[in-house]
Amino acid sequence: MAHGGTFISGIRSNPSMVSLGQTFAKRGYVVASISYRLMTILDLFTSEAALNGVAKALSDGRGAVRYFRKTLDLEGNPYGIDGNQIYFGGNSAGGVIAVHAAFMQEEDITDPELLAALNALGGIEGDSGNDGYSSEVRGAISLAGAAADVSFITIDENHKLLISCHGDEDPVVPYNCGQPLQNNALPQLCGGGAMFAHTQEIGFTNHNHLEFVGAGHVPWEYAGDTQTQMIEFVSENLLNALDCANVGVEELTVENSSVYPNPTQNIFKFENEKSVAIVTLYTLNGTQVLQVENTNTVDVEHLPKGIYLVEIIHLKQQKSYTRLVKI
């Protein structure tokens, strides 16, 4: 995730990022809040300077994705990530980074100033290191973010997920298309409303959009019902997009068991219920959260939503594993 701050301020440890990161982590996701290069307030007075500053932030965002794939390859996956299911999310300016990281392709760029800004950093991949690894992501979570051009989102990328949340009275990042900060010197951005109209028009069905009617910029910033609504919307749609059959610890080689219903909201049972002795649930980072013995029904209603690894020790002491999705 990338923080907001109009590309001139903000840090990865700001309260909003910490709150969102902890909330999603409790639901079973690996969450990282990244830093990126900031520009000065003077850069907001000319289109060229603003684009140069944004291009550096985009470069750093792509570099962060490559970094995590590098740790997966060279460091034994210390963060417990699935390299095939990386999503980029961001708040305000961070949402702008997220949308472009997921959907902007070099051949689709028609703005010569934007292309020049990217080329000054070595091209669309940027100059932020971790070369040799992919910066591709499976989708974007745009919280009051926007795209420089809605046509970056194409029907050919309908396999990617786009989640957007935006207040329709946002004076900072326009809900439709316009100048950010209502500053005519800045390049146009098209927010959640414009992106949703575009995806509807082209038949891009993998876009989930939540409009906050009458709300301004980042209405979820200070917790409360609006933040809860946003988090529930993002969590539900992100969970629905996950390839749950391929999420989890890859090194398991023992025979799998099956549980039902899966996903579940409260309880699950076993297909071969007579053979179960001990059941242990772990988060995807290996933390044990539940253990029960000699029961055919396991109650997980109290656990946060997310994905869990279920270890089953049978009466004859054989172990088997499966994955459980708590919704």
Structure tokens at 196: 């949703």
Q: What fold is seen in the domain 15-242?
A: Rossmann fold (3.40.50)
Q: Which residue has the tokens 């010197």?
A: 185
Residue among 156, 163, 241, 155 nearest 204 (CA): 155
| Separation in Å, CA 209 to CA 43, 158, 177, 253 | 31, 15, 16, 40
Residue spans of alpha helices (H) in the chain: 15-25, 47-74, 93-103, 112-119, 192-202, 224-241
| Separation in Å, CA 249 to CA 170, 222, 235, 307, 311 | 42, 35, 21, 11, 12
CB proximity list for 119: less than 8 A, separation 6 or greater: none
What pLDDT is recorded for position 324? 86
What pLDDT is recorded for position 244? 62
Domain with CATH 2.60.40.3080 in the chain: 259-326
Domain with CATH 3.40.50.1820 in the chain: 15-242
Pairwise CA distance, residues 112 & 98, whole Å:
21
In what helix (H) or strand (E) does residue 141 lie, and over which residues does it extend?
Answer: strand 139-143
pTM: 0.78
260-313 residue pLDDT tens: 888 899 999 887 666 678 999 988 767 889 999 888 889 999 998 888 888 888
Q: What is the CATH number of domain 259-326?
A: 2.60.40.3080
What pLDDT is recorded for position 257? 60
What residues of the chain score a pLDDT lower than 50? 247-255
What pLDDT is recorded for position 251? 41
What pLDDT is recorded for position 260? 87
What pLDDT is recorded for position 249? 43
CB proximity list for 327: less than 8 A, separation 6 or greater: 236, 239, 263, 264, 265, 305
